[in-house]
Amino acid sequence: MAEKVVVAMSGGVDSSVAALLLQQEGYDVVGVTMKLYSLDHVDLPANYQGCCTVDDVEDARAVCRRLGIPHYVLNVQREFQTFVIDYFVAEYQKGRTPHPCIACNDKIKFNFLMTRATALNAEYVATGHYAIRECSPQGWVLKKAVDQGKDQSYVLFGMGQQELAHTLIPVGAYSKDDIRQMALDAGFANADKPDSQDICFIPLGDYRSFLKEQIATKGGDIVDTAGTVLGQHQGIEFFTVGQRRRLGISGGEPLYVLRLDPETNRVVVGPEDALYSDQMWVSRVNYTLGPSPVEPVDVGVKIRYKSEEAAARLYPREDGALVRFEQPQRAVTPGQAAVFYQGEVLLGGGIIEADIPKDAVL
């Protein structure tokens, strides 16, 4: 009897081809589209390239119909509100810059959906992420996708051995062009559908307007590193480390956001050279193989989704990890994920913190 797999189908071409590939491999495939967030109240432009619309559900359903597999829609709006949107807003209120896709993968796709898959007697959950899952002598490992320009391993650093053992990620072994060609050959109507560009619950990309709708913001001072007041702001939620524009300060040398202080409600600004850091502290570290390295190790670190890897040395600790860069890095941003690689293999990752614990300084 064929093993059953639940494929998370967004209506996009990647998850559609994931279902196709798994069916070709002999799995008993079930398509599931998760309703994460309602866009009924949003006036979307005709060329909208997001997700979570009625059309996206219909695209997923049409693919399932063509493949002759079941398709279900799961309403997970309550869970998504709690674990993704509320988390996103709370992080900004703390002067941090979160990555909501990581929270969604961790809490919704590889937790909630995995639970639902078990209820459907499915052995696996599958997604359309561009990454590669392989078995090694040490256990399951997560590797970068063949198409380096589309690699999404960064947002999957929270996976452990339990999740990897029950997850299939078939599209990572192919280029995006290959995936689109497979969709065309299969007769999928969404073969040429553009990739999603925005955060699904902020479809027009204006996160500041979104935050204004969610919370009551509090104004405060914009200060330099000496504490001199240079201007006023409408709320620290509207700033991020490294930001130069929209500071509301005129004249003088260019200034950049260096730090956000939620306790004093201050935005600290300074010259660009003050943005560079030679080390950082990372909390909530997860290692995909389970145990942390015993000794310090050399790694390549991505401090944001689209950044290049930076050579560094990782010093594991029980409560996190200290990372020391070979070359200082610009705008190391609290709340963002730091993900560690050794060659093509994802070693682990965690969340960047604003301060390094005193007992962790080398």
Q: What percent of the chain has pLDDT over 70?
A: 96
What is the C-alpha separation between 286 and 292, in angstroms, rounded? 8
Pick the CATH number of 4-185 from 3.20.20.70, 3.40.50.620, 3.40.50.1820, 3.40.50.300: 3.40.50.620
The topology under which CATH files domain 276-360 is Elongation Factor Tu (Ef-tu); domain 3 (2.40.30)
> pLDDT digits over 328-346, tens only?
999 999 999 999 999 999 9
Highest mean pLDDT, choosing among 41-55, 92-106, 156-170 = 156-170
Domains in the chain: boundaries = 4-185, 216-270, 276-360
Q: Work out the angle at residue 35's Cα, subtended by the Cα atoms of residues 70 and 20, and round it to the nearest 5 degrees.
A: 35
The topology under which CATH files domain 216-270 is SH3 type barrels. (2.30.30)
Alpha-helical segments (H) within the chain = 13-24, 54-67, 77-80, 86-93, 100-103, 113-119, 161-165, 176-185, 207-214
Residue 168, H or E segment: strand 167-168
Residue 101 annotated among the catalytic residues of the structure: no
Residue 200 annotated among the catalytic residues of the structure: yes
Q: How many CB atoms lie within 10 A of CB 82?
A: 11
How much is the pLDDT for 43? Answer: 63
> pLDDT digits over 210-227, tens only?
898 888 889 999 999 999
Count of helix runs (H) and strand runs (E) in the chain: 9, 17
Whether the per-residue pLDDT at 44 is higher than 70: the answer is no
Answer left, alpha or beta for residue 252, where phi above 0 means left and psi between -120 and 50 means alpha: left
Global model pTM greater than 0.85: yes
Average pLDDT over residues 283-291: 95
Q: Which is catalytic among the residues 51, 52, 104, 135?
A: 104
